[in-house]
Amino acid sequence: MRNARIIGTGSYLPERVVTNQDLEQHVETSDQWIRERTGICERRVIGEDEVCGDLGRIAAQRALEAAGVSGDEIDLIIVATCTPDRIFPSTASSLQRALGVRPGAAAFDIAAACSGFIYALGIAERFVRFGDAQRALVVGAEAMTRILNWDDRGTCVLFGDGGGAVVLEASEEPGVLSTHLHCDGRYEPLLYVPWGPGRGYAALGAESGYIHMRGNEVFKVAVNTLTRIVEETLDAAGVDKGEVDWLVPHQANIRIIQATAKKLDLPMERVVVTVGEHGNTSAASIPIALDTAVRDGRIQRGETLLLEAFGGGFTWGSALVRY
């Protein structure tokens, strides 16, 4: 049985920065209120001439460079996004062409909201482990601000744009130790976007293309769910929580992150936190945070990482990784 090991990481953030002070000029909110409830200070916003695929492409290029491999050595591309460039072809298909990945390699998108990267990592790991791919490119990319109502103070303060990526390679060394993927569609009314192409263009209301969220209820379910998945992940792998070197969580809310760290008995110094500078970048948040900590030297080879996420659906998932 082969292992799937992360051999390269990359990320990209758009240039435009929107601070809490900027939002104070537009909606009834304050820097203090946003910081205290979310931990967010600023977020990045995609440029008018950029699309989601651009964010993923640059992140992927950086991951390939870090891995020391070229596009034509990739056998599989999976892009996790809920803000794709178009209905079809997939954003992954566009990346295949842009990155010079060999014709015939599998390429597809998945939509699992903020849990998307974990879902994509779990799928790619199985492709590699069972011999269907030697190397896989896993990308999380989002243009979340394109589906934000900037007049809704309950959502516009939370989200940002960005892309992150990892390259997986078959290896005899330990890599992705386990992944755990879940969904419960009963919670759909708490976090959703009403419009979709399958519904047609009939008027659903002026705000049908925007994120709708009942924040307090989402928060409560997220904290309880992530607590359970920490236990599930460690038990399945036979790993004690004291063996986890780093928590790399989905960057949605600092209070959710702190609650998960407490469950692991991990000091916040062992948690990768980028939510303050990036906001919630949905499927891109974990690979961005991972790349940030790898490049600044915090995460070292041989360390054990716990990645976890919770998002609309509700979806949730985790991965235990030996980096």
User: Which residues are designated catalytic?
Assistant: 114, 250, 280
Q: How far is CA 227 from CA 9, 53, 112, 233, 254, in A?
A: 27, 33, 20, 10, 15
Count of C-beta atoms within a 10 Å radius of residue 216 = 9
Q: Report yes or no: 251 and 307 within 8 Å, Cβ to Cβ.
A: no
Alpha helices in 151-274 (DSSP H): 153-156, 215-237, 254-264
Q: Report yes or no: 116 and 82 within 8 Å, Cβ to Cβ.
A: yes
Backbone angles phi, psi at 130, to 5 degrees: -95, 10
Place of tokens 């979806």: 315
Count of C-beta atoms within a 10 Å radius of residue 87 = 9
Q: Which of 72, 71, 91, 70 is nearest to 80 (CA)?
A: 91
- Within 8 A by CB and 6+ apart from 49, the residues are none
Residue 202: DSSP 8-state: S
Segment (H or E) for 61: helix 52-67
